[in-house]
Amino acid sequence: MYAIVEIAGQQFKVERGNKVYVHRLEANEGEKIEFDKVFLLDNGGKISVGNPTVDGAKVAATVISHLKGDKVIIFKKKRRKGYQKWNNHRQCLTQILIQGVLPKGETLKETELTATRKIRTQGLVKKADAVVVEKVAAVKKAPAKKAAPKKAAAKKVAKKKD
């Protein structure tokens, strides 16, 4: 399920588990927010197009962090006139995690929220990636083989040099 939604004046195609960078929002980190300007909604192949928005559809998200984008350099110059102007800019952004796309009348289940929180704490976004993390954790728990002590080998080399 995905949706095309307007967030802070820009349109984004979002689905559950996506991390999106948007213009700075006036929300604190960890705060849950909802966007109701949904222009298109795809619910398992059934597409709903709004006029101008889909009635009752919402996108639920959580603010992850506030940050600044890459530096953009603005340099103006006129040849042979001695005119040079240098400026730069860094856009203020907010990173959000999409918790779910909600058609009319649906609410976000608490179980979905906790599952998304667990995945996010592991540094992952999608459920498929969570399986990979479980396998990696199992490998890390397995006892590692100890390497042979290097001190004995170093003493043998030192005796040969004498």
pLDDT beyond 60 at 30: yes
Confidence of residue 44 (pLDDT cuts 50, 70, 90): confident
Structure tokens, 33:
């927010």
**pLDDT tens-digit series, residues 75-119:** 999 999 999 999 999 999 999 999 999 988 777 775 455 445 544
Q: pTM of the prediction?
A: 0.63
Rg (CA), the chain: 26
Residues in a beta bridge with 22: 94
Q: Which residues of 67-106 are buried (b: 16+ CB within 10 A; e: fewer)?
A: eeeeeeeeeeeeeeeeeeeeeeeeeebbebbbbbbbbeee
**pLDDT tens-digit series, residues 2-13:** 999 999 999 999
In whole angstroms, what is the distance from residue 90 CA to residue 67 CA?
10
In whole angstroms, what is the distance from residue 40 CA to residue 49 CA?
5
* pLDDT of amino acid 127: 47
pLDDT beyond 70 at 126: no
In whole angstroms, what is the distance from residue 36 CA to residue 108 CA?
14
